[in-house]
Amino acid sequence: MSTKPQKIDSIDRVSIGLAGATALAGLVRVFFLRPLSEGLNDTTLKFFAVAGALLLLRKIKSLSFGDYKAEFQAIQDKADEAVEEAKTATSMARNFGASVADDATAPKSRGLPGNAEDAELQKWEVLPGTVNDDPWKGRFENVAEARHRRLRAEVSPSLDDGWFRVHIWVESTDAVNHPLSGRARFFLHSTFPNSKTFVPVLDGRAELRLTAWGAFTVGVLCDDAQTKLELDLELDPSFPKLFRNR
């Protein structure tokens, strides 16, 4: 006797998808972002715990009323946070897991003669400044918007106690007439591995997600290194005070 397959509704699909993304973030932390001996820490275990909670969400979604409403919302909030952590972990593994020499998005010589190849690579370089503990301060024209380009950032607390998620991106202010394409190079604080990393432009923006202990100045080159942009994360009052004061 055949039975009718059980229909999986949209909430089920979202719950399963988020659970998978969260579990993947935990695995990335274990095998890519930290030494294996340190990867299975409290924060990693939180990822797997949230993944399990998301699967339970499928069972309790019909009870999202009365006293259960707050618990349901808390799980949704945790799911959103876990997805952001997953995106950050994936970005860090991709952009900081290899040296600049291994960076697939770095400019290639394309068979250019020696001097031309040096010039091609050199145009993507910027010398650090003299500001103590903030090497890119003032080195990118002190502007976050120029030549139809804009550098933006968002900062929020991380699941890792005391750390913060930082989402940085560069985009066009006029995508129709002046679309952004190619690649951008992000200049980060020297405490980051591969602190000068190339990021491809996808869907009109080049973006980088990372975790940081405190604020720093970000520099960006784009438009074949012709446009310079700079953003001091310490100066945005909307960012957490603890992050800005470190």
Q: How many other CB atoms sit within 10 Å of the CB of residue 53?
A: 19
- Rounded Cα distance between 150 and 50, Å, is 35
Evaluated on CA atoms 26, 27, 29, 30, the torsion sign reads positive
Q: Tell me what pLDDT residue 84 has.
A: 72
The tens digit of pLDDT for each residue in 21-52 reads 656 666 665 555 545 444 445 555 555 556 55
The tens digit of pLDDT for each residue in 77-88 reads 666 676 676 767
Rounded to 5 degrees, φ, ψ at 115 are -65, -40
- Rounded Cα distance between 202 and 132, Å, is 34
Q: Where are the domains of the chain?
A: 10-96, 100-245
Confidence of residue 194 (pLDDT cuts 50, 70, 90): confident
In 3D space, the residue among 146, 141, 133 whose CA is nearest the CA of residue 190 turns out to be 133
Spelled out in words, what is the top-level CATH class assigned to the domain 100-245?
mainly beta
Question: What percent of the chain lies above the pLDDT cut of 90?
Answer: 47
- Rounded Cα distance between 60 and 196, Å, is 46
